[in-house]
């Protein structure tokens, strides 16, 4: 059983990052379906890479440079997988007027003006928000932001229908319906890093991330009738930014 769960975990790492996995890890549609429970765990791993790079860079350079290098490290680790999903999704929703046209634009490998603007704003947004946090909170914010935002994508995946199953799609359906046990595992990995953050700020971050996810889910339901792989990447990016925005909220007594 342990080996099987490790296979699911490494399968999630292989799908969502550029990090190497053991050679014995197999590949199958069923294993990829089961790996959905470990998406937030992958976020912890990616966020951990960003946190370590930030801590090391902060010893040599100013805070802003350390934040920039940590972001570069996480993007390199994932191969800009989620950023690409955000770009394609915004291009599709911004340039399409009906479902088939939106899906056609999202499938196109070329990047449009909407996608470029979305990526620039997302990167600038994350840089600005992380740089505005207290130095000591940034490593924990990276851990929590990457983990919880992937849980937001997991909830979208578990609660909505996959709308494109053609051979040209970038990502096949991963897990159309997760079991309660699988959702619990995903939730545990998402909640774990939150304990290292101030309670009120963590709650605010979770609330805004959830709100962003619900907003995106409404758009996807209205225009597509469900989600695609690109939609999951876009949700991860937007909910991560919303989470950092919540962490910065100041509550008056």
Counting every residue written for the chain, the total comes to: 253
Using 50, 70 and 90 to split pLDDT, how confident is the model at 223? very high
* pTM for this entry: 0.93
Q: How is residue 137 annotated by DSSP?
A: G
Instruction: Please provide the distance, in angstroms rounded to a whole number, between the alpha carbons at the two ends of the chain.
Output: 50
pLDDT (tens digit per residue) in 22-73: 888 777 667 677 788 999 999 999 999 999 999 999 999 999 999 999 999 9
Is 102 within 8 Å of 224 (Cβ atoms)? Answer: yes
Q: How many other C-beta atoms can be found within 10 angstroms of the C-beta atom of residue 100?
A: 9
Using 50, 70 and 90 to split pLDDT, how confident is the model at 3? confident
Is 230 within 8 Å of 89 (Cβ atoms)? Answer: yes
Kindly list the distances between the CA atom of residue 253 and the CA atoms of 74, 178, 200, in Å, as whole numbers in the listed order.
36, 40, 12
User: Coil, strand, or helix at residue 47?
Assistant: helix
Match 């990447």 to its residue by tokens. Answer: 233
Is 145 within 8 Å of 212 (Cβ atoms)? Answer: no
Q: How many other C-beta atoms can be found within 10 angstroms of the C-beta atom of residue 40?
A: 29
Half-sphere exposure of 230 (CA within 13 A, CB side): 26
Rounded Cα distance between 135 and 67, Å, is 10
Query: What pLDDT score does 247 carry?
Result: 96
What average pLDDT does the chain have?
90
């Amino acid at each position: 059983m342990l080996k099987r769960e490790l296979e699911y975990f490494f399968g999630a790492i292989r799908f969502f990052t550029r990090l190497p996995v053991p050679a014995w890890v197999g590949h199958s549609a069923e294993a990829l379906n089961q790996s959905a429970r470990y998406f937030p765990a992958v976020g912890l791993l990616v966020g951990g890479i960003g946190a370590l790079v930030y801590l090391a860079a902060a010893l040599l350079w100013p805070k802003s440079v350390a934040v920039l290098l940590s972001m570069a490290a996480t993007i390199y680790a994932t191969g800009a997988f989620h950023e690409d999903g955000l770009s394609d999704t915004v291009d599709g929703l911004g340039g399409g007027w009906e479902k088939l046209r939106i899906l056609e634009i999202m499938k196109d490998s070329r990047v449009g003006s909407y996608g470029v603007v979305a990526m620039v704003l997302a990167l600038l947004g994350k840089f600005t928000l992380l740089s505005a946090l207290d130095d000591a909170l940034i490593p924990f914010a990276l851990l929590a932001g990457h983990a919880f935002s992937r849980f937001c994508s997991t909830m979208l995946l578990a609660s909505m229908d996959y709308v494109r199953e053609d051979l040209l799609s970038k990502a096949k359906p991963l897990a159309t319906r997760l079991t309660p046990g699988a959702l619990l595992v995903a939730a545990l990995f998402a909640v774990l890093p939150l304990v290292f953050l101030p309670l009120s700020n963590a709650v605010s971050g979770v609330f805004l991330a959830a709100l962003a996810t619900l907003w995106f889910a409404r758009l996807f339901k209205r225009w597509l009738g469900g989600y695609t792989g690109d939609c999951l990447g876009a949700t991860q990016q937007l909910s991560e930014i919303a989470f950092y925005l919540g962490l910065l909220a100041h509550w008056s007594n």
